[in-house]
Amino acid sequence: MKERCLETRKIYSGRVVALRIDRVMLPSGRKSIREVVEHRGAVAAIPVKGDKIILIRQYRYPVDEVIYEIPAGTREKNETPDETMARELEEEIGYRAGRLTHLFTFYSTPGFTTEKISIYLAEELEPVERRPEHDENIEVVEVEKERIPEMIKNGEIRDGKTIAALCYYMLGAG
């Protein structure tokens, strides 16, 4: 079932992603092309504050929409997922988690990218100075936990990582 890479050609390397084109040998013996977006990996957290979950609303240029998300970010070089998550919570929502628990890790879109996202539960939140990055325009929104399922069902929350994380949490797995 595994495919074997015959040749790799780097097309682009940027700040967030890189793109390569691989020529592969399929198990059937036929050849094919795979377009692969390389990604360092990301983290995201469900920040719980009493009976509320802290979400963010921000404009996402690729989809040209303002969307609800849980705080998240891309790992920097030489940064552990835990370190990335702690940094992102401070930058995006202005909280430090007294308890940060890794829940699960998943591939965001394994058909074309190497991106893995580690999902955390952030509890015992302490306010700190918010330090958004220069290109971020984020609104912090506290949402009652009981509203979350309806927000997912009616399409208010449309971000994949956010839906996966919140469904996991609402099922009592977090």
Question: What are the tens digits of pLDDT across the range 13-44?
Answer: 999 999 999 999 999 999 999 999 999 999 99
Helix (H, G, I), strand (E, B) or coil at 15: coil
Q: What is the pLDDT of residue 172?
A: 86
Q: What is the pLDDT of residue 136?
A: 78
Is the alpha carbon torsion for 54, 60, 116, 127 positive or negative?
negative
141-173 residue pLDDT tens: 999 999 999 999 999 999 999 999 999 999 986
Closest by alpha carbon to 35, among 17, 22, 25, 24? 22
Q: Which are the catalytic amino acids?
A: 136
Domain 42-170: which topology? Nucleoside Triphosphate Pyrophosphohydrolase (3.90.79)
| Extents of the domains making up the chain | 4-39, 42-170
**What's 123's DSSP letter?**
E
Give CA 14 to chain center in angstroms.
18
Tell me, yes or no, if the pTM score tops 0.85: yes
